[in-house]
Amino acid sequence: MDSEALVQLALETLSCSQKDLAIRLGVSPTQISKWKKGEHMSYDMADKISAIANIGHKDPSFVVWAGSLEAAIKWEKLIHFLAEVADDAAETGYNTDPLRDDLDLLCWHTFYTLRKMGVDLPKTFPNDLDIDYEEDPDKLWDLIEKNPYSSLIYKIYKSFTNVYGFYIAYVYEVVFDDELELWEAVGCDIDSCLLELAAAKIDIEGIKELATNFQEFKHLTTKNYEEWLNVVKERAFRGGVPLRAELLSMVYGTDEELGNNAESESLGLNSSRLHPDIYMNELLCGMRMIHQVLPAIMKKLGMDDEFTLDTSELRIK
């Protein structure tokens, strides 16, 4: 919970000073100042201030970024509508659970990602998007596609369905393998930053002026996932856990490629496929077995002293 945003909303709602707010909460003015600087706030106090600010379960940062509670409600309605449409249109064969927003994180995460991309959110909710989402579909989508913010959010969600499908198909079980102990090392980062990875894959042609920090955002996101997924690959190899796909495809592949890959997996079309790392592991295991067994066989046959390996015969002529 963002303590700074919560205090800001409470002060704006009550139109009071920090001293007045401190008296109402039964704390010192110094404590209010500490919260405004980001100091941790207890859940009980956060609930108390959320009630004062009348924001319910909405993330305080999301409300501040939206500009007002009224605007936050409208953004939330639009975001959930776009998420539902994107999830319904997904073709990976996997549900995109974060878009269903059971944890009430989607609105905050969407705005957080947009801000990292350099998108300057409007100070008020766009009038052209203040519409009835039950009206004529053609007219509705015409409005959504023309608005740069709604069209950008939908592009991110469409990309996210493909990225998330690949993640569930090939990465999820490895990350949550208790023996590999990956969750605390990199798994939590991989799981929680998937929306940013999806956003980094979209085509921003035509909206470059909107996402002013996109290239830096894409570079940093890509770099992070390269590091995280290489850790997963290394531990999986050491732990003898087979990988059914090249995990770095999640970084270098387009969202459509990831979606097609996930769909093939969900349909069972990849059931007999093994990633090259698995073949290499099988070869290494076979070679280790030969190294252990062959000397014993040669000794049994009495060949261990007289045998000399002619390496020239191993070369391809």
Q: Do 50 and 71 sit in the same domain of this protein? A: no
Asked whether the predicted pLDDT for residue 276 surpasses 60, the reply is no
Q: Do 203 and 145 sit in the same domain of this protein? A: yes
Q: Do 14 and 111 sit in the same domain of this protein? A: no
b (16+ CB within 10 A) / e for 8-24:
bbbbeeeeeebeebbee
Q: Do 138 and 166 sit in the same domain of this protein? A: yes
If one compares 135 and 231, the residue with the highest pLDDT of the two is: 231
- Residue 74: pLDDT band with limits 50, 70, 90: very high
- Residue 135 pLDDT: 75
Q: Do 37 and 75 sit in the same domain of this protein? A: no
Query: Residue 121 falls within a domain, yes or no?
Result: yes
Q: Which amino acid is residue 204, in one-letter code? A: I
Q: Do 304 and 205 sit in the same domain of this protein? A: no
Q: Do 71 and 167 sit in the same domain of this protein? A: yes
Six-digit token string for 59: 């993330």
User: What's the whole-number mean pLDDT along residues 134-150?
Assistant: 85
Q: Do 123 and 16 sit in the same domain of this protein? A: no
Structural domain count, the chain = 3
Backbone angles phi, psi at 54, to 5 degrees: 60, 40
Q: Do 104 and 219 sit in the same domain of this protein? A: yes
Q: For the residues of 204-253, what is the DSSP string, one character each?
A: -TT-TTTBTTHHHHHHHHHHHHHHHHHHHHHHHHHTT---SS-TTHHHHS
Asked whether the predicted pLDDT for residue 261 surpasses 90, the reply is yes
Asked whether the predicted pLDDT for residue 61 surpasses 70, the reply is yes
If one compares 311 and 165, the residue with the highest pLDDT of the two is: 165
Query: Residue 61 falls within a domain, yes or no?
Result: no
Q: Do 137 and 249 sit in the same domain of this protein? A: yes
Q: Do 154 and 236 sit in the same domain of this protein? A: yes
User: What's the whole-number mean pLDDT along residues 75-87?
Assistant: 95
Query: Residue 271 falls within a domain, yes or no?
Result: no
Closest CA to 59 of 98, 122, 107: 107
Dihedral (CA of 27, 32, 37, 43) sign: positive
- Residue 141: pLDDT band with limits 50, 70, 90: confident
Range of the domain at 291: 276-314
- Residue 178 pLDDT: 92
Backbone angles phi, psi at 92, to 5 degrees: -80, -20
Residue 4 in contact with residue 40, Cβ under 8 Å?
Answer: no
Domain boundary pick from 56, 80, 102: 56
Instruction: Tell me what the pLDDT averaged over the chain comes to.
Output: 89
